C-alpha cells in the first residue's frame, strides 16, 4: 500500500507540475456562504495555488513558481520575502495571531524534490525561515488555536500519516498509524478535534480525531472523493473539496470538483459550486475571520 500511495502522489504532483506548462488560467475567487455569491479577486494566464486569507482581511497569500505572493483585493501582487526558501509548495498557512507564516519548502530540487519538503516558519511580513521539522518529507496543514503546535502530513517509513510538533521544533508525535493515506489535518477552532481526510475505509472520506490521535470518527460516506476539511472560525461548518469521480488516493489537478459545506451540528452537506480544480484549489485554510466567506482557486485551460 505504501508504494502504491507513493506512486499516486508522485503522479499527482507530476501532473500538477506539467499543468503549469500547458497554458493554465488560474482564478482566485471568494465564496460567500450566506449569499452564494462568487467574486473574482485575481485572474491570470498562469498557474498559482492555495490561498490563505490574512487575519486582518486585507490580502491573500498564494504560492506560484516556488515563491509566495500577497494578493490584495484590487488584484495587486506583491512577492513575499521567504529568504532561501524558493521551492515553496502549496502547504502554507498563517498563525492564529496573524504574525507568523508556516511554509513547506522543498530542501532539494529536481524530480524527487517534493520528497524533501520541510516545514519552516517566518514572520508574516517576510524574512529568514526557521526550520521546524528535521525529518522529510513533511507537509504543513494546521496550527493549534494557541499557536503552539503544528500538524502535518509526513512520510515516515512506507506510509503517509499525520503528525504534530511544537512550533519551536523538537520531537514529532505520530497521531495516526495506518497503511492508507491520511492527509490535510486541521484543528477545530476550540482545539477539541483535528479534522482530516483518510482512505482507511477504502475510499477518501472526511474524519476527525482528538488532538492526541484518539477516537477517530468518520464523518462523510458518499459517492464522492472528499478532501481537505477546513473548519470555519465560528466552528459551525467545514468546507471540503470533493471530486465528482473517485480518485483513489490521488489529488490531481484539472478535474471536475465541487466545494461543499458540511454542517457540524446536523451532519448535512450542501453543494456550493462545481468547476474545474483539485490540486491547488483549497489545499490550505482560507476562511475569512468572520466565517462567512472563504477563498479558493478555480482553473481552466486557455
* 151-175 burial code (b ≥16 CB/10 A, e <16): bbbbbeeebbbbbbbebeeeebeeb
What pLDDT sits at residue 31? 98
* Residue in 28, 42, 118, 125 with CA at minimum distance from that of residue 80: 125
Q: Which residues pair with 76 in a beta bridge?
A: none
Domain holding 145, by residue range, is: 2-301
pLDDT at 5 over 60: no
**What is the total count of domains within the chain?**
1
* Residue in 85, 81, 134 with CA at minimum distance from that of residue 106: 85
CATH of the domain at 132: 2.120.10.30
pLDDT at 75 over 50: yes
pLDDT band at 13; cut points 50, 70, 90: low
Q: Which residues pair with 39 in a beta bridge?
A: 30
CA–CA gap between residue 137 and residue 116 (Å, rounded): 5
* Residue in 248, 245, 217, 172 with CA at minimum distance from that of residue 1: 248
Contact 277, 255 (CB under 8 A): yes
pLDDT at 216 over 60: yes
pLDDT band at 12; cut points 50, 70, 90: low
Chain centroid offset of residue 52 CA:
9
What pLDDT sits at residue 11? 41
Give the mean model confidence (pLDDT) for residues 11-15: 47
Q: Percent of the chain having pLDDT more than 90?
A: 89
pLDDT band at 276; cut points 50, 70, 90: very high
Q: Please tell me whether the overall predicted TM-score, pTM, comes out greater than 0.95 for this model.
A: no
pLDDT at 147 over 60: yes
* Residue in 272, 188, 297, 271 with CA at minimum distance from that of residue 233: 188
What pLDDT sits at residue 15? 47
pLDDT at 21 over 80: no
* Residue in 162, 152, 21 with CA at minimum distance from that of residue 92: 152
pLDDT at 64 over 80: yes
CA–CA gap between residue 300 and residue 190 (Å, rounded): 37
What pLDDT sits at residue 112? 87
Give the mean model confidence (pLDDT) for residues 221-238: 97
φ, ψ (nearest 5 deg) of residue 225: -105, 110
CA–CA gap between residue 254 and residue 173 (Å, rounded): 34
CA–CA gap between residue 101 and residue 113 (Å, rounded): 22
pLDDT at 123 over 80: yes
CA–CA gap between residue 50 and residue 41 (Å, rounded): 14
Lowest-pLDDT range, 10-14, 34-38, 210-214, 274-278? 10-14
Amino acid at each position: 500500500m505504501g508504494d502504491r500511495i507513493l506512486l499516486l502522489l508522485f503522479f499527482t504532483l507530476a501532473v500538477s507540475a506539467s499543468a503549469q506548462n500547458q497554458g493554465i488560467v488560474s482564478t482566485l475567487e471568494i465564496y460567500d456562504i450566506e449569499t452564494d455569491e462568487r467574486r473574482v479577486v485575481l485572474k491570470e494566464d498562469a498557474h498559482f495555488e492555495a490561498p490563505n486569507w490574512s487575519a486582518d482581511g486585507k490580502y491573500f497569500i498564494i504560492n506560484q513558481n516556488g515563491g509566495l505572493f500577497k494578493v490584495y483585493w484590487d488584484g495587486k501582487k506583491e512577492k513575499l520575502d521567504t529568504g532561501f526558501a524558493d521551492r515553496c509548495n502549496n502547504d502554507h498557512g498563517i498563525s492564529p495571531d496573524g504574525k507568523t507564516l508556516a511554509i513547506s519548502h522543498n530542501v532539494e530540487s529536481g524530480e524527487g524534490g517534493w520528497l524533501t519538503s520541510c516545514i519552516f516558519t517566518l514572520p508574516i511580513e517576510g524574512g529568514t525561515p526557521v526550520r521546524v521539522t528535521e525529518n522529510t518529507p513533511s507537509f504543513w496543514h494546521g496550527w493549534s488555536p494557541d499557536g503552539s503546535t503544528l500538524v502535518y502530513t509526513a512520510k515516515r517509513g512506507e506510509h503517509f500519516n499525520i503528525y504534530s510538533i511544537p512550533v519551536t521544533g523538537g520531537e514529532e508525535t505520530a497521531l495516526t498509524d495506518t497503511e492508507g493515506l491520511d492527509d490535510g489535518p486541521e484543528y477545530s477552532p476550540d482545539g477539541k478535534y483535528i479534522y482530516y481526510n483518510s482512505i482507511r475505509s477504502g475510499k477518501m472520506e472526511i474524519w476527525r480525531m482528538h488532538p492526541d490521535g484518539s477516537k477517530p470518527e468518520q464523518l462523510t460516506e458518499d459517492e464522492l472523493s472528499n478532501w481537505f476539511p477546513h473548519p470555519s472560525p465560528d466552528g459551525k461548518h467545514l468546507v471540503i473539496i470533493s471530486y465528482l469521480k473517485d480518485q483513489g488516493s490521488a489529488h490531481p489537478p484539472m478535474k471536475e470538483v465541487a466545494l461543499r459545506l458540511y454542517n457540524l451540528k446536523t451532519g448535512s452537506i450542501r453543494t456550493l459550486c462545481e468547476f474545474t480544480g483539485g490540486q491547488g484549489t483549497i489545499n490550505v485554510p482560507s476562511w475569512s475571520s468572520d466565517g462567512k466567506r472563504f477563498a479558493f482557486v478555480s482553473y481552466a485551460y486557455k
